[in-house]
Amino acid sequence: MTASSRIGPSDLLRAHVLALALGTLAAPAMAAPQDLTAVPFEQLLTMEVYSASKFVQQANQAPAMVTVISAADIRDHGWRTLAEVARSVRGLYVSNDRNYSYLGERGFLRPGDFNTRFLLLVDGNRVNDSIYDQAPLGGEFPLDLDLIERIEFVPGPGSSIYGSNAFFGVINVITRQGGDLAGRRVLLEAGSGGARKASVRAGWRSAGGTEFLLAASSRRSAGEDLYYPEYDTPDQHHGVASGIDYERGQRLLASIAGGPLSVTLMHASRTKGVPTGSYAQRFNDPRSRTVDRETLVNALWRSSAGAKEQLSARMFSGLYDFLGDYPDGDGLFVNHDASHARWWGAELSVISTRLAGHTLLAGLDYQRDARLAQRNFDDPGAYNLYDRRQARRVGLYVQDELAVGAATRLNLGLRYDRNSGLPGIVSPRAALIHALTADTTFKAIYGTAFRAPNAFERFYHFAGEGGQLPNPGLARETIDSAELALVHRPGENTRLTATAFRNVVDGLITQRAYAGIPETRFENAARVRARGIEFEYERRWQRGAAMRASYSYSRTGDGQLVNAPAHLAKLNLAAPLGAGSCRGALEVQYVGERQGLAGTTPGYVLANANIVHARLFPNTEASLGIYNLFGRRYADPGAAEHRQAAIAQDGRRLLARISHAF
């Protein structure tokens, strides 16, 4: 790494100047209100509004320190993936190896972990597949971000409600309904690196009030030629991976909601070229790629609101396919890694407010993994692996939220889980939420969570360089987490948060390499501790300007863990620009120095900017996003499958979008 990739005061200065410029531009919008009854009705229809409701109220009462990202935030910042959204969230950071995006939180991002320690839900339905437990956060996430109503990032143990995988946190995505998106819209995107995207959506509401939504998108990007000095020999194209950083993807969403019933179908497929030569592949071979395909169906029935008992019943089914094409080191054959998972299940829950002062929740959650198949074969050549299994998990949970006096609430939850091949486990959580004053809330949260080892970690077997040995006896990992927080709201539009946490992880499932053995193996590691503090300041102004700034510090074990930055800082700004049809947004992120498997990766500051013009023409919106505004060079640590100690990330990228409503 060169010195220029380190953070420079000039970056911070430039970001500051930009922020000031945004502020100045925003100022004219603060002018005196006009008499709207004097404006022609046709003109009112074209004018933008901003909402008076500032923060989601229940976030204050939640038994966790929730960050809520709204559809408006997504639009302001021009975020394209969940990973980009997560980068802006207090305490989270993202690592990318040009194949997948990996999420880290509060000092933990294990090499070889496919986001298994975060539970990703879309409208309450589990998106993590059942072979790798992977939470897809990049292009492989099955939903376009403009179909999202809001995203809740819930840090801390969530197993007391959700069972396995809700280990470091839960990401709750709530989709928009057909009625909210009434009409038809076409969106086109073009940007650097040959990025192109087209999407269409149509939403309508029938006379009977049933809402329909259909949305589809297709995208591709060529990526860039990338240079890796680790492969710089004449027979490896002098270390240049040419034309294999491409990505292609398609997504489809169909939903129907009417009365108490809603049904959603989601499907996505993503193909990504792998330019890094990971898993000892032949470098710069155009055949190298991974394909992720997931289909999810979720049917939800809810009893009518207003009754003392509210019942809900959910049935779900999922299908996930992975295909990895890895040309062998000499390019003689292509190794195909293929897995297939199929699951279905049901969840029943009831919320009761019958007892005064109590909100009781109880539920039963069942999932059947009807097929967990992992295959590996050489083409031409032999079968290396054909592992077929079935599994199930059952969970039973209760939670009570009770008022203890006027100022104090207690949230007590408990869940019992049985996962195939493992003994039962109980996960408790207790949270005390106490209003110190009218403006200040104190929260104390304690809980434990677990993650059952997945089929990939236990049974995958591939001999040789870049391979893996199975470990059927792998035990689950558990976390014991405590957090103390203060939330101060001096006014309707301002929120200050301070929080301190301590996590103790037992049996952390870790990919381990041994000297003299070419394969790695997943094993339960000894106890690891992490502790830290976080601060956040949020502010909204009249006329729709918003700011969110946070700082996080974490320390792990005796010496920092791999890929665990001690310091994270973030700033997000959005404001109306000029006379009101435009909004501008700026985000600045600092990720501190990280230990890699080989050497350290320096810290970096990254800035992204986005401008949205809401009415370039009638019914036409345009936006321009600039990612990595200052063209910083930065890198993320590589994992065991990489020869690179650090993997360089994208420079400045532009993306223009235009959308038209009919």
What are phi and psi for residue 84, nearest 5 degrees?
Answer: -65, -35
**CB closer to other proteins out of 47 and 436:** 47
Task: Output the smallest distance, CB 655 to other proteins, in A.
Answer: 11
Task: Output the smallest distance, CB 391 to other proteins, in A.
Answer: 40
Task: Output the smallest distance, CB 545 to other proteins, in A.
Answer: 10
**CB closer to other proteins out of 13 and 364:** 13
How remote is the C-alpha of 659 from its chain's centroid? 25
Cβ–Cβ < 8 Å for 570, 90: yes
**CB closer to other proteins out of 467 and 576:** 576
Task: Output the smallest distance, CB 249 to other proteins, in A.
Answer: 24
CA distance 79 to 627: 10
Task: Output the smallest distance, CB 56 to other proteins, in A.
Answer: 15
CA distance 294 to 29: 45
What are phi and psi for residue 462, nearest 5 degrees?
Answer: -145, 115
Task: Output the smallest distance, CB 29 to other proteins, in A.
Answer: 5
Task: Output the smallest distance, CB 33 to other proteins, in A.
Answer: 7
Residues near other proteins (CB under 8 A): 28-29, 31, 33-34, 36-37, 39, 41-52, 72, 75, 179-183, 204-205, 207-209, 305-306, 543-544, 576-582, 611, 613-616, 621-622, 624, 626, 652, 654, 656, 661
Q: Is the peptide bond before 380 cis (omega within 30 degrees of 0)?
A: yes
CA distance 551 to 90: 7
Task: Output the smallest distance, CB 657 to other proteins, in A.
Answer: 11
Enumerate residues 6+ apart whose C-beta is below 8 A from 332: none
Residue type, 133: D
The 10 Å Cβ neighbour count of residue 436 is 12
3-state class of 400 per DSSP? strand
Q: Quick one: tokens of 554? A: 């974490």
Of residues 530, 490, 428, the one with CA closest to residue 91: 530
3-state class of 490 per DSSP? strand
Enumerate residues 6+ apart whose C-beta is below 8 A from 235: none
**CB closer to other proteins out of 47 and 513:** 47
Task: Output the smallest distance, CB 104 to other proteins, in A.
Answer: 31
**CB closer to other proteins out of 122 and 626:** 626
Task: Output the smallest distance, CB 186 to other proteins, in A.
Answer: 14
**CB closer to other proteins out of 52 and 406:** 52
**CB closer to other proteins out of 561 and 577:** 577
Q: Quick one: tokens of 343? A: 């699951």
CA distance 269 to 249: 6
The angle formed by the CA atoms of residues 616, 620 and 625, to the nearest 5 degrees, is 70
**CB closer to other proteins out of 208 and 516:** 208
**CB closer to other proteins out of 538 and 621:** 621
Q: DSSP state, 89? A: S
**CB closer to other proteins out of 4 and 34:** 34
Burial of 514 (0-12, 13-18, 19+ CB in 10 A): exposed
Q: Can you name the residues that pair with 327 across neighbouring β-strands?
A: 334
